[in-house]
Amino acid sequence: MSQPSIMIVEDEEPLTLLLRYNLEAEGYQVSTAARGDDADLMLRESLPDLLLLDWMLPGLSGIELCRRLRQRDETRELPIILLTARGEESERVRGLSTGADDYIVKPFSVPELLARVKALMRRSAPTRVASLLEIGELSLNRETHRVKRGSRDLHLGPTEFRILEFLMERPGRVFSRAHLLDSVWGMDSDIDERTVDVHVGRLRKAINRPREKDPIRTVRGTGYSFDESFARR
Ligand code: CA
Q: Which range of residues forms the domain containing residue 160? A: 130-232
Ligand 1 center from residue 88 Cα (angstroms) = 14
Count the residues in the chain: 233
Residues near 144 by beta carbon (within 8 Å), at least 6 away in sequence: none
- Positions of E strands within the chain: 5-9, 29-33, 50-54, 80-84, 102-105, 132-135, 138-141, 147-149, 152-154, 174-176, 216-219, 223-226
Supply the CATH number for residue 74's domain.
3.40.50.2300
Same domain membership, residue 138 and residue 116: no
What would the mean pLDDT of 21-48 be, rounded to a whole number?
94
How far is Cα of residue 83 from the mean position of the Cα atoms in its chain?
16
Q: What are the pLDDT digits (tens) for 141-150?
A: 988 899 999 9
Ligand 1 center from residue 233 Cα (angstroms) = 50
Task: Choose one of 106, 126, 146: the last residue of a domain.
Answer: 126
Ligand 1 center from residue 43 Cα (angstroms) = 19
Q: What are the pLDDT digits (tens) for 190-203?
A: 788 899 999 999 99
Supply the CATH number for residue 196's domain.
1.10.10.10
Ligand 1 center from residue 31 Cα (angstroms) = 17
Residues near 57 by beta carbon (within 8 Å), at least 6 away in sequence: 9, 10, 11, 34, 35, 36, 39, 65
Ligand 1 center from residue 54 Cα (angstroms) = 6
Q: What are the pLDDT digits (tens) for 157-207?
A: 999 999 999 898 878 888 899 889 888 887 666 788 899 999 999 999 999
Same domain membership, residue 30 and residue 103: yes
Residue 142 and residue 162 in contact, taking contact as beta carbons nearer than 8 Å: no
Task: Choose one of 126, 161, 193: the last residue of a domain.
Answer: 126
Task: Choose one of 126, 158, 174: the last residue of a domain.
Answer: 126
Same domain membership, residue 145 and residue 115: no
pTM, two decimal places? 0.56
DSSP-derived pairing of the beta strands 138-141 and 147-149? antiparallel
Same domain membership, residue 122 and residue 144: no
User: Is 21's pLDDT higher than 70?
Assistant: yes
